[in-house]
Amino acid sequence: MVKTGAQRVSDDSFGAHLARLRTAAGLSLRQVEEATEKEVSNAYLSQLENNKIAKPSPNILHALARVYNASYEDLMNRAGYLSSEPNPSGRRQAKAATFAIQGLTPEEENILLDYLAFIRKQRRK
């Protein structure tokens, strides 16, 4: 989240979402590299988080989902591989939420991830 004056502006980019997931998991870039058995290097992850790489391969997303205990389908959707739009039959092709709360907005999800990171950080002290 970025503060502008008294207002908070949420960064809903894919890279910012990955950074929030990593922070919520309490992991450094190097720890993610180790947890993925070097499948995702810390340099590559840094580029993802800074939106220098927009569409990582599905196997990278799978490794990150496993490490972050996040939804693989959600990461695939956010990376543009799956559509959350209804198909011709009216059913959504893929729309996996990070949280099981229905109707959660992206901004609310980001706030919850920030809060989770804060709680986990407090526990480690």
Helical H runs in 1-125?
A: 14-25, 29-35, 42-49, 58-68, 72-78, 106-124
Q: pLDDT of 45-80, one tens digit each?
A: 999 999 999 889 989 999 999 999 998 888 988 898
User: Looking at residue 120, which CATH number applies to its domain?
Assistant: 1.10.260.40
In a domain, 30, yes or no: yes
Does some domain include residue 88? Answer: no
Question: What is the dihedral angle through the alpha carbons of 120, 121, 123, 125, rounded to the nearest 10 degrees?
Answer: 170
pTM (predicted TM-score): 0.65
Instruction: Give the pLDDT of residue 123.
Output: 77
The verdict on residue 7 lying in a domain is yes
Which residue numbers in the chain have pLDDT < 50?
A: 1-9, 91-100
Q: Which residues pair with 92 in a beta bridge?
A: 86
> What pLDDT is recorded for position 119?
77
Phi, psi values for residue 93, rounded to 5°: -65, -50
Cross-strand partners of 3: 8
Q: Which pLDDT score, from 0 to 100, does residue 105 have? A: 74
Q: Which domain holds residue 109?
A: 2-82+94-124
